[in-house]
Amino acid sequence: MANLNIKLVKSLNGRIAKHKATAEALGLRHIGDTTVQPDNEATRGKIAHIGYLLQVSEEQ
């Protein structure tokens, strides 16, 4: 199964509470934080919710 590298590239300051909570659920709190998550529907849904704050790439 593939994994996704997810990096927070924009600040969470001033964002709505749901978007902050989604970022925190992914383990992202500060600009530059990265995490590796499994490529599944739940992760893709979180990315779709706050995609404008993230940089996503597939792990090789």
pLDDT 10s digits, 4-48: 999 999 999 999 999 999 999 999 999 999 999 999 999 999 999
- Assess whether pLDDT exceeds 80 at residue 60: no
- pLDDT value at residue 1: 72
- pLDDT value at residue 44: 95
- pLDDT value at residue 2: 93
- pLDDT value at residue 19: 97
Residue 33: strand, helix, or coil? coil
- pLDDT value at residue 59: 84
Return the number of other C-beta atoms located less than 10 Å from residue 8's C-beta: 21
